[in-house]
Amino acid sequence: MVQTFKFGIIGSGSWGTALAKILTDNKNKINWWIRSEETIKHLLTRRHNPQYLSSVFFDTTLLHLTANVSEVIKNSDCIIIVVPSAYAVDTLGNLDKNIFKEKKIVSAIKGILPDQNLLLNDYLKQQFNVELENYFAVLGPCHAEEVASEKLSYLTFSGIDENATRLIATYFKTDYLNTIINHDIYGVQFAAILKNIYALGAGIAHGLDYGDNFLSVLIANSADEMAGFLRKAGIKNVEVGTIEHTAVTKNASSTGSGRETTNYAASVYLGDLLVTCYSLYSRNRTFGNMIGKGYSVKAAQLELSMVAEGYNASKCMYIINKSIHADMPIAETIYKILWENLSASQGFKKIEETLV
């Protein structure tokens, strides 16, 4: 008998709304935790999220909406956690310690828990004894706004249980979304965290009026810096040109991939870095652009009115790298601009000297 999943979504921002769209487009019923009762009422009566991706209309017969996070978890087999990383502990911290027993957890968080300096899987293991085989990550160059307009996108699902990872991915395969699987849980999560930091840097450079020529060199060096960190952290398959091509099997074909390994040149590494650094949808790039133009961090946060994951991530990765000892002059300089009052112009003069 083929296992099936009933999905629960924790979070109703733009990415949470996009994931809800994908699942319901495939006619899956979902349990959906939304903090605001007013938003729930609006969704049920007007069929769209009033705050995020308001162009997306839902079949409300497929939605069970609630402001009770425990209810979503208890009524679901597979829980997608898609709140900003800074709010994850507030959302989950007071739950029963056994609530995730026998559940599959999919992290759609593109950040690191800032007060703990932990990836979500490490936090869930510490607090709820969630084993790694029941944890999956969904990442990739996939802006919510383009999912809303059904522009072709790619998502990578990572998990050490290949069969379960492949099955979860099938629920998200649509005409406008291709899915890829791998077992690189730590690599894809760290890459997602780092790309947000480098996107902040790309935004700062734009705000300082650097041109495309400089930006291309900055991003290329950022990709190399990312690969260096991943390698020092023990992540494999991070060098350009090391992908292994295999015959496309029936199962692999169902997820759109005949490749068994991935590296930082693949969509989930380099692709996500590129789109986050270049796209006008990127909130990290937008946040960085404000910093480059002279906004204070506080003013940029108020103006953006959404969470730029790279801000907290820059501090977390600075601390984590003290034990990894990777050479990260770009990420460290961005941290010092955001957290130690180094001026953006002075910081980028230092970065200029490190680029090759």
The pLDDT confidence band at residue 248, using thresholds 50, 70 and 90, is very low
DSSP letters, 329-355, are HHHHHHHHHHHS---HHHHHHHHHHH-
Question: Are residues 152 and 217 located together in one domain of the fold?
Answer: no
Q: How far is CA 140 from the centre of its chain?
A: 7
Are residues 268 and 349 located together in one domain of the fold? yes
Q: Tell me if 14 is assigned to some domain.
A: yes
Q: Is residue 165 part of a domain?
A: yes
The answer for residues whose C-beta is within 8 angstroms of residue 171's C-beta and 6 or more apart is 5, 7, 23, 26, 28
pLDDT, position 1: 42
Residue 160 and residue 280 in one domain: no
- Condensed to tens digits (0 to 9), the pLDDT of residues 147-203 reads 999 999 999 999 999 999 999 999 999 999 999 998 889 999 999 999 999 999 999
Q: Is residue 214 part of a domain?
A: yes
Are 117 and 200 contained in the same domain?
no
CA 131, 133, 138, 139 dihedral sign is positive
Residue reference for tokens 């991003």: 219
The CATH number given to whatever domain includes residue 24 is 3.40.50.720
Q: Which of 136, 165, 185 is the last residue of a domain?
A: 185
Pair (156, 214) in one structural domain: no
Quote the crossing angle between the two packed helices 185-207 and 329-339, to the nearest 10°.
Answer: 60
Verify that 258 and 322 share a domain, yes or no: yes
pLDDT interval class at 240 (50, 70, 90):
low
Answer yes or no: is 12 within a domain: yes
- In terms of residue numbers, what domain contains 63? 7-185
Domain boundary (147, 164, 185) is at: 185
Question: In this structure, is the dihedral angle defined by the CA atoms of residues 135, 165, 106 and 324, taken in order, positive or negative?
Answer: positive
Same domain, 28 and 55: yes
Q: Do the domain assignments include residue 2?
A: no
Check whether residue 179 and residue 194 sit in a common domain: no
Residues 115 and 201 in one domain: no
For residue 333, the cross-strand partners are none
Interatomic CA distance for residues 307 and 287, integer angstroms: 9
Tell me what pLDDT residue 252 has.
38
**pTM value?**
0.90
For residues 151 and 295, membership in a common domain is answered with no
Q: What pLDDT shows up at residue 267?
A: 75
**What is the rounded average pLDDT for all residues in the chain?**
90
pLDDT band per the 50, 70, 90 thresholds, residue 246 = very low
Residue 1 domain-assigned?
Answer: no
- Tell me the C-alpha distance between 262 and 113, whole Å: 25
CATH number at residue 282: 1.10.1040.10
What CA–CA distance (Å, rounded) separates 157 from 164? 10
Domain stop point among 142, 157, 185:
185
- What local confidence, expressed as pLDDT, does residue 249 receive? 35
Between 262 and 109, the higher pLDDT residue? 109
CA angle 101, 109, 132 (to 5 degrees): 35
Domains: count for the chain: 2
Q: Which residues contact 132 (CB under 8 A, 6 or more apart)?
A: 121, 125, 160, 185
Indicate whether 255 belongs to any domain: yes
pLDDT tens for residues 110-160? 889 998 899 999 999 999 999 999 999 999 898 999 999 999 999 999 999
- Decide if 192 is inside a domain: yes
3-state secondary structure of 138: strand
List residues bridging with 4 in a β-sheet: none
Cβ within 8 Å of residue 51, ≥6 positions away: 12, 39
The answer on 163 and 46 residing in a single domain is yes
Same domain, 32 and 171: yes
